[in-house]
Chains A and B, each alone.
Chain A
Amino acid sequence: MTETQELEQLVKREYKYGFTTDIEQEIIPPGLDEDVVRMISAKKNEPEFMLDWRLSAFRHWQTMTEPEWAHVHYPKIDYQALSYYAAPKSQEELDADAPESLDDVDPKLLETYEKLGIPLHERAVLAGVKGANVAVDAVFDSVSVTTTFKDKLAEAGVIFCSFSEAVENHPELIKQYLGTVVPKGDNYFAALNSAVFSDGSFVYVPKGVKCPMELSTYFRINAKNTGQFERTLIIAEEGASVSYLEGCTAPQRDENQLHAAVVELVALDDAEIKYSTVQNWYPGDEEGKGGIFNFVTKRGDARGDRSKITWTQVEAGSAITWKYPSCILRGDDSVGEFYSVAVGNNYQQIDSGTKMIHLGKRTRSTIVSKGISAGQAENAYRGLVHIGKTASHARNFTQCDSLLIGDQCGAHTFPYVEAKNSTAQVEHEATTSKVSDDQMFYLRSRGLSEEDAMNMVVSGFCKDVFNELPMEFAVEAQALLAVSLEGSVG
């Protein structure tokens, strides 16, 4: 096969999660004003402090301007043309009386998640299918559909539920932690999210508890012309540890859809949070039409001494990705890690990276970022390593590598390094290259097909990151990468 043919094949790859679910939904009509914010809050039966919080975020948002510094281009978003709340109807009825079992959930929804390969039946685990031993919270458009394994988790004292349930059942925790990592006015999209977020996941791991299973949230955008604004809050008390996975897909539509999420992590003394994402929102078609605008604020606060926060992400979807999972290393000896593979194809644009803010003594951070660009994609790493005055003996290592496949794409690196302490040690290195002819020739001479050879080189390139993913996700990520780059030999 010639290179052109292969590239053609590459750009023709299809998005396999592009179906829509025909389900009756309750949607708030498009538009955004204080009434919409009030309506969302009312629908969620929220206590007053939540409404006040939302309104103050909304008022702040109105004074802000959309950021333009990222290396991405897109038509202006009309925030009044979006709908800010969409819920499957059946769920509406169930709200008063939360589903005790999956039998109460609309079978169409279950079918959707079945198609996506997400096991919502707890018995599926017993049958030993893929995704074993993972508790799942499924979020469909604006609301959480179901959360599995709640009982088993409760035994261990772990709270894992939708954000709405947490507001209802654990308002004291929400009050104590919400917005303490990503303040409501943090940035344009975070402020918008704070005003209109509809659901998300909440995790609380009490002191000394090691969460007995992987937790997972599966986000699905289904409705047309809606934005998805979910909010996740994970708290690990002293000595607790938890591993959390997140996956996302959306139907294939010609219009761009906005997804502006906020994720806050809080790790107290000796706590450990591992947050993994496989992001596969609809990326748009081969002409760059449609696709999700993924404008996400993720930040972890390693508040306690010896705490640890690890972000691992495989970014394969979305028309535009704008996301910088960050760590504030506040506790002494705290550790921050960021492992990322970002794959861009067709007209995808990615501006992603991390911030490591070192404040505590002997804090350490590691950044490994692997960017792959193919087609006409633009892939940028943007990161900050800040060593504050108080962060004596802080240490950072950063490696950003970019791989270019084809000559119409772009790979960029914009790292900021700031050091204010003389005992700091910061190393940053970045390389950009293509898959070399020598590598390909060698593998071909060993009898590998061009495609297998390419896959092998690319997997090798990403290995450092995949090694950090929980096993179930590592397999999925590998497969996703292979599909994304199918036929891209060159």
Chain B
Amino acid sequence: MSRQGLPEWLSTALPDHAAAPQNLAQAARQQVETIGLPGLRDEEWRWTNLRPIHRGNFKTAQGASEAQPSEALPLENAIRLRFVDGALQSIPDDLPDGLTLVSLADADKATRTAAFSPTPTPNTDDPNDALVTLNTAMAHEGVVIDVAANSVIERPIVIEWLDGATDGAMSHPRVLIRLGQSAQASVIEQIESVGDQPSWRNSVMVSKIAANAALTHIALGLTGQARLTTERCFASLERDARYHSYNIQLGGQVTRREYDIQIDGTGAHSDLIGLMMPRGKQLMDTHTRIVHAAADTTSNEHYRTIADESGRGVFKGRILVERDSQRIQAFQASNNLLLSDTAEIDAKPELEIYADDVQCSHGATIGRLDEEALFYLRTRGVAAAEARGLLIAGFAQEVIDEIPNEALRGWLTERVQARLAQRPDATTGA
């Protein structure tokens, strides 16, 4: 199968200089020019068609903008970093002790090298990883978040991704998060469209979590109909480190998020929790890979999708237990609700296990609302449409309830409920 190479508009947009160290950027550029964008024939992309990107003719946007998010998240004292079409607007100055924020462009070479050397290491020859390679070749903006050892940053760090301020804008930002020993921080991504024309952001976030440190990472894909986002998050965990990820996707035309978790130290733990609610013609796709590379490590994964109208939800989760990684507990569940006959759900929960003393399981379900639960509610005098609404909301709520921030939980609950109230067939039953 011959590969197509990059679309011309993208090939000509490849810059001579990028934030990555010259050798890395150069190699990435050559690689991606031969490999091109991933296609449906590449295993990791069989359910996600990047055609809207292929024919997008996106351009790197220039200059700052006055763009604002639709609503500020209900977080007190948040430290806000705003990216408009991938360009960092400014770095806040009143930072708590132990927290350092540096624009990627201003970071020293060692830091930039770290930002472009994620663990687990993507394979630059592999078409499935082509978007990371593209990001390495293109990235010139981004931020480095450093938390010193033993520092607990109480204030949430909010990264606002405001896409589409310029029509047809594309961006390839890169974020590096480093937590020193026993440090703690929470990073919240607020993802919004500020225009109604297509935009494409292909970002990479690299988290390195030192021993006994804990990172909470919340991603909120909110507004936007024409927004295309391809995002990849890497996290490596040392001894007893913890990584808690929450991924809530409501907006965007095509949203592809990938999590690559490398558990390198004993006693470390990773949580991957997510809710995707595609409707209209939205495609929401999450791919996760967890590598248990050390003994006595645990992971817990729970994803839910509610696909309505012609929406499409894709979930792929892989758990890999390496040889000699004994006494592993890894659980994964993917539960999906299909509310319409034009919606689609695709799931692929994978286990790849090379050690014998493990307890690993995964479960995947696809179904509709429980008829008995509906019947029960109706016998209690709840109207059919309302009963359906309650059950769907309850299904979503179980994910939202896991988010470790009360104000955010309440705010999201309202958003999800408002979204469900707009269901056109709420009274007809699907």
Contact = CB atoms under 8 A, between A and B. Distances in A.
A405 B356 CA distance: 7
Q: Which of A65, A416, A422, A423 counts the most B-chain CB atoms under 10 A from its CB?
A: A422
Interface string B290-302: 0000000000000
A406 B351 contact: no
A432 B365 contact: no
Interface in A413-456: 413-434
Interface in B339-370: 339-341, 343-368
Contact of B361 (A65, A416, A429): A429
B366 A413 contact: no
A407 B357 contact: yes
Contacts of B364: 415, 417, 426-429
A381 to B, nearest CB: 9
A414 B363 contact: no
Contacts of A418: 47, 344-347
Nearest to B338: A422
B249 interface: no
Contacts of B8: none
A65 B1 CA distance: 9
B247 interface: no
The size class of the interface chain B forms with chain A is: 35 or more
A32 B96 CA distance: 74
A413 B351 CA distance: 5
Nearest to A419: B366
B368 A425 contact: yes
A420 B341 contact: yes
Contacts of A430: 349, 351, 361-363
A409 interface: yes
Nearest to B335: A427
Contacts of A402: 351, 353
B43 interface: yes
A426 B365 contact: yes
B324 interface: yes
A425 B336 CA distance: 10
B365 A421 contact: no
A415 B349 contact: yes
Interface string B321-334: 00110100000000
Q: Which of A407, A408, A413, A434 counts the most B-chain CB atoms under 10 A from its CB?
A: A413
A412 B368 contact: no
B323 A432 contact: no
Nearest to B336: A419
Nearest to B340: A422
Contact of B349 (A410, A419, A428): A428
A419 B361 contact: no
A67 B154 CA distance: 52
A250 interface: no
B13 interface: no
A428 B365 contact: yes
Given A412-B351, A432-B351, A422 B339 contact: yes
Interface string B22-55: 0000000000000000000001000100000000
B351 A411 contact: yes
A423 B340 CA distance: 9
B430 interface: yes
Nearest to B351: A413
Given A69-B43, A412-B350, A417 B366 contact: yes
A407 B324 contact: yes
Interface string A180-201: 0000000000000000000000
Contacts of B47: 418
Contacts of B345: 417-419
B363 A407 contact: no
Q: Which of A416, A418, A432 counts the most B-chain CB atoms under 10 A from its CB?
A: A432
The size class of the interface chain A forms with chain B is: 35 or more
Decide if the interface of chain B is mainly helix, strand, loop or mixed: strand
A412 B352 contact: yes
Contacts of A413: 349-352, 362
Interface string B352-395: 11111111111111111000000000000000000000000000
A207 interface: no
Contacts, number: 121
A413 B348 CA distance: 9
A3 B358 CA distance: 19
B337 to A, nearest CB: 9
A427 B368 CA distance: 12
Contacts of A412: 350-353
A410 B354 contact: yes
A415 B352 CA distance: 12
A65 B365 CA distance: 35
A409 B368 CA distance: 39
A415 B366 contact: no
Nearest to B364: A428
A430 B317 CA distance: 13
Given A404-B356, A430-B362, A433-B358, A424 B367 contact: yes
A423 B360 CA distance: 30
Contacts of A406: 356
A396 to B, nearest CB: 9
A121 interface: no
Nearest to B339: A422
Given A409-B356, A424-B366, A428-B364, A415 B350 contact: yes
Contacts of A427: 363-365, 367
Nearest to A390: B341
A434 B321 CA distance: 14
B301 to A, nearest CB: 13
A150 interface: no
Given A69-B43, A411-B353, A413-B350, A425 B341 contact: no
Contacts of B363: 427-430
Contacts of B350: 412-415
Given A413-B351, A416-B348, A422 B356 contact: no
Given A407-B323, A409-B356, A416 B367 contact: no
Contact of A434 (B339, B357, B367, B430): B357
Contacts of A389: 341
Q: Which of B343, B348, B353 counts the most A-chain CB atoms under 10 A from its CB?
A: B353
A410 B319 CA distance: 13
B406 to A, nearest CB: 33
A410 B325 CA distance: 12
A365 B344 CA distance: 19
Q: Which of B1, B323, B339, B349 counts the most A-chain CB atoms under 10 A from its CB?
A: B349
Interface in A63-84: 65, 69
Interface string B182-207: 00000000000000000000000000
A417 B347 contact: yes
Nearest to A433: B359
Nearest to B360: A432
Contacts of A423: 341, 368
Contacts of A69: 43
A179 B220 CA distance: 50
Given A407-B324, A419-B344, A419-B345, A424 B338 contact: yes
A411 B339 CA distance: 35
Contacts of B344: 418-420
A119 to B, nearest CB: 41
B356 to A, nearest CB: 4
A414 B348 contact: yes
Nearest to A417: B347
A422 B326 contact: no
Contacts of B357: 407, 434
B343 A422 contact: yes
Given A418-B344, A426-B367, 7 more contacts: A389-B341, A407-B324, A412-B350, A412-B351, A413-B351, A419-B366, A432-B358
Interface of B: 1, 43, 47, 323-324, 326, 336, 338-341, 343-368, 430
Q: Which 7 A-B pairs have the closest CB atoms?
A: A404-B356, A426-B366, A428-B364, A417-B347, A413-B351, A419-B366, A429-B363
6 contacts: A418-B346, A419-B338, A420-B344, A422-B368, A424-B366, A428-B362
